[in-house]
Amino acid sequence: MTERLSWEEYQRIKNIKILDLQICSYCAKLNILNLGWKAFGKWYCEKEEKEHVLCWEFCYKVCLNVLGCELKQIRKKRTEREQTVAVNQKYYKSSCYLCQKELKGAGKHGIIKNRNDPKFWGIGSSYKIMCLVCIGKRFYNRLSAGKRKTFKKYLKRGYE
């Protein structure tokens, strides 16, 4: 199955070096997270003892109703040490997955700044790089009190 991109979407991703793709386990539908498309769910079927990535439109319902899968949403433990997120453009530049705003990386090390990483804010999101505006719009209510204080401090300083 092929996925068509509009001209505007192509212009948004043409300079991006690393694309985050998801493919549905059953219908093989492609999802490009860099375009801000809604992420597919990661599920574990206790009946088959397998891990699946399922699109929301059709396959999730089919697995529950027709195949009789016993799906549980996969959650990662916070104690795991995860790798740092690499920038998704050339050199030290990166772009927000939702609004495509260009962001600075952490010096010339090829990684993003902590403030642009949802894991820094305690958010379990499949979007790896987000600007502060998008984090504030989508996840402000889910931030802890200490993280809200840090978030406001970053906004007062004029960070993106």
Nearest-angstrom CA–CA distance, 103 and 151: 17
- Asked if residue 51 belongs to a domain, the reply is yes
Give the range of the structural domain holding residue 50, as residue numbers without chain letter.
7-73
Q: The whole model's pTM is what?
A: 0.66
* Calpha distance 72→28 (Å, rounded): 21
Other C-beta atoms lying within 10 Å of the C-beta of residue 116: 27
Same domain, 103 and 68: no
Task: Return per-residue pLDDT of the chain as tens, 160 residues.
Answer: 567 788 888 888 888 888 888 888 888 888 888 888 888 888 887 777 778 888 877 777 777 777 777 777 666 655 545 667 877 777 788 888 888 888 888 877 788 888 898 888 988 888 888 999 999 998 899 899 999 999 999 999 988 7
Q: In this structure, is residue 97 part of a structural domain?
A: yes
Q: In the numeric block, which tokens belong to residue 96?
A: 């927000």
Same domain, 97 and 68: no
Total number of domains in the chain: 2
Domain membership flag for residue 2: no
HEC string of 21-81 equals EEECCCCCCEEEHHHCCCCCEEEEECCCCEEEEECCCCHHHHHHHCCCCCEEECCCCCCCC
Residue 85 lies in a domain: no
